[in-house]
C-alpha cells in the first residue's frame, strides 16, 4: 500500500473525485490555521503507476510514503 499526501487547496473538485476513484481509501485530515487541510489517499501497489501518472500529468504536488503517517507526523512536517 502507498499513501499519498496532498494539500486540499491544491486540488479542484474534478481532480479530487478522479483521485478518489483511483484510491482504495481517501481520508481528510483537518487542521486549524495556519496549517492547511490534507488529503491522504491510500493506493494499492498495482494502482501506484496510474495514480502517479495522473498526479504528474495534472501537475499536482504530492508526497508519497510506504508507511501510513499519523496525524502528529503530518502536523510535524508542516511546523
All domains of the chain, ordered by start, with CATH? 2-78 (3.30.70)
Q: How many CB atoms lie within 10 A of CB 4?
A: 22
Per-residue pLDDT tens digits for 26-72? 999 988 888 889 999 999 999 999 999 999 999 999 999 999 999 88
Predicted pLDDT of residue 61: 95
Give ∠ CA 29-75-23 in degrees, rounded to 5.
40
Contacts of 11 (CB under 8 A, 6+ apart): 19, 39, 60
Using an 8 Å Cβ cutoff, are 38 and 29 in contact?
yes
pTM: 0.90
Amino acid at each position: 500500500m502507498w499513501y499519498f499526501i496532498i494539500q486540499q487547496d491544491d486540488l479542484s473538485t474534478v481532480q479530487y473525485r478522479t483521485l478518489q476513484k483511483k484510491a482504495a481509501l481517501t481520508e481528510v485530515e483537518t487542521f486549524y490555521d495556519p496549517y492547511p487541510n490534507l488529503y491522504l489517499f491510500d493506493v494499492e501497489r498495482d494502482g501506484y503507476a496510474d495514480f502517479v501518472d495522473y498526479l504528474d500529468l495534472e501537475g499536482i504536488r504530492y508526497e508519497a510514503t510506504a508507511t501510513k503517517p499519523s496525524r502528529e507526523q503530518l502536523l510535524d512536517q508542516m511546523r
